[in-house]
Amino acid sequence: MSAGQKTNSGQNRSPTARTTASAVTKPEGLVSDYPLSSVLVVVGLGLAVGVVLGSILGRSPTPTPSLGKRAELAAEQFGRQMLGAMSGVLPDSLSKHISS
């Protein structure tokens, strides 16, 4: 490819492609042109990395129960709540037969 072809291919690029290409080759120019945006991007990336690392390191060492076990525990708790609610509404003669 000759030098003339290289300059033509650079001229055919869109402004966005040229800006992106120059940002990769000259990051200090981009930072000096857009200081606030550059700082916000770096802070956002740092925050995202911190959240990811925090969630990985902050997990409890105990294994979480399986979906079936969680469903079983939820059903038992719901059943106890329903029995408690029914024993509060029923007359004493019937509520003594329900153990909550």
Q: Look at residue 40 in the predicted model and tell me its pLDDT.
A: 93
Specify the higher pLDDT residue, 50 or 18: 50
- What's the predicted TM-score (pTM) here? 0.36
Q: Rounded to whole angstroms, what are the CA distances from 44 to 34, 48, 52?
A: 15, 6, 12
Domain ranges (residues) in the chain? 3-57, 66-100
pLDDT tens digits along 19-71: 666 666 666 777 788 889 889 999 999 999 999 998 888 876 777 778 899 99
Mean of the pLDDT values across residues 4-22?
59
The rounded radius of gyration (Å) of the Cα atoms in the chain is: 32
SS3 55: helix
**In angstroms, rounded to a whole number, what is the distance separating the alpha carbons of residues 97 and 81?**
16
Give the dihedral sign, CA 14/4/1/21.
negative
Q: Which residues contact 95 (CB under 8 A, 6 or more apart)?
A: 86, 87, 88
pLDDT band with cut points at 50, 70 and 90 for residue 88: confident
